[in-house]
Amino acid sequence: MPVHNVDIAEIFEQIADLLDIQGDNPFRIRAYRNAARTVRDLGTELSALKIQGVDLTRLPGIGKDLADKINEILRTGGTTALKKLKQATPRGLPELLKLPGLGPKRVKALQEQLDIHTLKQLRAAAASGKVRSLPGFGPKSEQQILQAIETQLSASARMLLATAAQYAQSLMEYLHQSKAVQEVVVAGSYRRAKETVGDLDILVTAAKTSDVMSRFVSYDEVKRVLAHGETRATVILRSGLQVDLRVVPPVSFGAALHYFTGSKAHNIAVRRLGQQRGMKINEYGVFKGDQRIAGASEASLFESVGLPFIPPELREGRGEIEAATRDTLPTLIELKHLKGDLHSHSKASDGHHTLRELAEAANKAGLSYLAITEHSRHLSVAHGLDEKRLSGQIEAIDRLNEELKGITLLKGIEVDILEDGGLDLPDTILSRLDLVVGAVHSQFNLPRKRQTERLVRAMNQRYFTLLAHPSGRLLGKRKAYEVDMERIIKETSQRGCHLELNAQPQRLDLNDIHCRMAKDAGVLVSINSDAHRSGDFAYLTYGVGQARRGWLETKDVLNTRALAQLRPLLKQTMG
């Protein structure tokens, strides 16, 4: 039975949650959380490493005990450690602990004083005003709990794109192993690079004698078969992800791919164009009367209605048809166009690799420069740097650059934006850097006007280059804070600084709408990995996908420029 990295990471997170509830050693809890992140962010499946005989203790933060547990999970799909913890923990508590702002003590209080065990029970208690009566709670925290519950419940049916990719890639490889299968493509919101997906739609072309359907429903990760026909089957994987498989003939493959890729609004617009030309367009092809005239490829379908090929990421019914009609579709950015990365963390703060290791990994990922931007002192939980430690790192980067080949490290900082809009470090040290990345890590619940003014004041500080993860959201966990993004983009343009598109799968922040707003305002966007590990540069793929959804071209992206062209743009923001 295949076990993915995301499955192992989830088990370690559950263990950490349960240990947290029991008040276990904080260092032990942190070890499991760090291991979960290491596993989740690893570029190679642990199952493959095991087959290769790799010593798992060589991975960052993975000692013998954790390596043994990983091997147990790979072998059995679970671990006895988690089973024992679940037996010793009251039901429902781990689910409650996932809510932002609810630590073990508050969760225990809810259970002991209000007999709350589930999210639905907590929502009912908060809605009726019972939670605010408990010591340590109040009307404001009660409202925040309600908002967090709604966010979690609404997100529970969707999966992060990067997580879904692990399941999609394995399943595609499995289906390709059938010699009768010719093409396998994942359509739907996955193909449109949406930040979360609800299910997977897979299209296959195969020989008539293919066993692909029986092979599909027999896949080891299938938990339940919902439908099983000759050309269509639907299953639920152990992860809870629903997967629909359709076998289509080659003559209809392009039409089916277009139809199942969506979006609905885009498809309706294309069908209307067909109707205006006396044609019928559906998942089987493009028809003039009873004659199929196109549909073997998507390009032929678009050509039949007088349009050039429209990339999947643009198919949201947001003007792409009109742009295609006018021949003004953007030439979208690709991963290969990125020359560098302007946001990363080493061991000096909360990263897991040295400066040299990060540099070598970035170079291996095809980048020619990398900005080291540790957290600043205000974020003590991330071991943020004060002036003295940052000064030492500046000198260390200068020394290392003399030895590195093929890549240059830039000196930066991810400085906290304080509540009053000030920056967490003084100008005397910021002036020595190549760039300053400003970020909000606290006071997410400020009113819209105050939050907006806070960011505007920060961007107007003397040394400010880039606004990191501008909305502060964490997909499925924390909503974006209230801010006037239209004004932020306008101020960014006037100040001459830039906006980040943070490629971490749980952030993907800027969102696609704000990317396009930035493009229209002439504000450059930097697609950054926010790497904390050497494998995190793989996240740039998802950042590029989001940028494509936002209509961004190479000219719209700051870090598509070579270092010689980048430096003047950075310099103009530094005083």
More confident residue, 124 or 543: 543
Concatenating the DSSP letter of every residue in 62-101 gives: --HHHHHHHHHHHHHSS-HHHHHHHHTS-TTHHHHHTSTT
Q: How far from chain centre, in Å, is Cα 25?
A: 30
CATH T-level topology, domain 5-155 = DNA polymerase; domain 1 (1.10.150)
When pLDDT is averaged across residues 17-26 and rounded to a whole number, the result is 82
Question: Considering the chain, what is the average pLDDT of its residues?
Answer: 92
Please list the residues that pair with 238 across neighbouring strands: none
- Place 92 in a pLDDT band, splitting at 50, 70 and 90: low
Handedness of CA 319, 324, 329, 333 (dihedral sign): positive
Residue 420, CA distances (Å) to 2, 3, 231 in order:
50, 47, 61
Can you give the pLDDT at residue 1? 60
> 441 to each of 134, 343, 416, 470, how far by Cα in Å?
28, 15, 7, 11
Specify the fold of 159-247.
Beta Polymerase; domain 2 (3.30.460)
Nearest one of 170, 171, 252, 242 to 212, comparing CA atoms: 171
Could you check whether the bond before residue 263 is cis, i.e. omega within 30 degrees of 0? yes
Residue 462 has a pLDDT of 95
Can you give the residue ranges of every domain in the chain? 5-155, 159-247, 252-325, 335-571
Q: What is the three-class DSSP state of 309?
A: coil
Name the percent of the chain lying above pLDDT 70.
Answer: 97
Band (pLDDT 50/70/90 cuts) for residue 280 is very high
E strand spans, 503-566: 525-528
Q: What is the CATH number of domain 252-325?
A: 3.30.210.10
SS3 at position 240: coil
Neighbour-count burial for 55-75, b at 16+ CB within 10 Å, e otherwise: ebeebbbbeeebbebbeebbe
Whose structure tokens read 């938990």? 223
Asked if 442 and 416 count as a contact pair (C-beta separation under 8 A), the reply is: yes
Question: What is the band of 47 on the pLDDT scale with cuts at 50, 70, 90?
Answer: confident
State the architecture of 335-571 in CATH terms. Alpha-Beta Barrel (3.20)
- Residue 328 has phi, psi (to 5 degrees) of -120, 25
Query: What's the 3-state SS for 409-420?
Result: EEEEEEEEECCC
Asked if residue 236 lies in contact with residue 226, where contact means CB atoms within 8 angstroms, the answer is yes
Dist. CA 331–CA 193, nearest whole Å:
17
Provide the 8-state DSSP code for 474.
B
Contacts of 499 (CB under 8 A, 6+ apart): 466, 467, 470, 488, 489, 492, 510, 514, 518, 523, 524, 525, 526
Half-sphere exposure of 40 (CA within 13 A, CB side): 22
- Could you tell me the sign of the dihedral formed by the alpha carbons of 561, 563, 568, 573, in that order? positive
The confidence band for 153, taking pLDDT boundaries of 50, 70 and 90, is: low
pTM of the model: 0.82
Greatest Cα-to-Cα distance within the chain, rounded to the nearest angstrom: 77
Give pLDDT, residue 99.
Answer: 77
Task: Confirm if 141 and 97 have CB atoms less than 8 A apart.
Answer: no
Give just the sign of the alpha carbon dihedral 237, 243, 244, 249. negative
The Cα 406–Cα 428 span in angstroms is 31
pLDDT per position as a tens digit, 253-265: 999 999 999 999 9
Q: H or E stretch including 233? A: strand 232-237
Contact 93, 117 (CB under 8 A): yes
**Whole-angstrom distance, CA of residue 250 vs CA of residue 247:** 10
Pairwise pLDDT comparison (432 vs 24), residue with the higher score: 432
**Which pLDDT belongs to residue 42?**
78
pLDDT at 90 over 80: no
pLDDT band with cut points at 50, 70 and 90 for residue 19: confident
Q: Please write the tens of the pLDDT for every residue from 407-458.
A: 999 999 999 999 999 999 999 999 999 999 999 999 999 999 999 999 999 9
For residue 91, pLDDT over 80 is answered with no
Number of CB atoms found within 10 A of residue 275's CB:
12
User: What gap in Å lies between CA 339 and CA 337, rounded to an integer?
Assistant: 6
Which pLDDT band, with edges at 50, 70 and 90, does 165 fall under? Answer: very high
Question: Can you give the pLDDT at residue 274?
Answer: 96
Cα–Cα distance between 419 and 425 in angstroms, integer? 14
Find out whether 266 and 315 touch, Cβ atoms under 8 Å.
yes
Q: Are strands 435-439 and 466-467 parallel, antiparallel or unpaired?
A: parallel
**Nearest Cα residue to 4 out of 72, 54, 77, 87:** 77
pLDDT in tens, 205-262: 988 767 899 999 999 999 999 989 888 999 999 888 999 999 999 999 999 999 999 9
Helix, strand or coil, per DSSP, at residue 344: strand
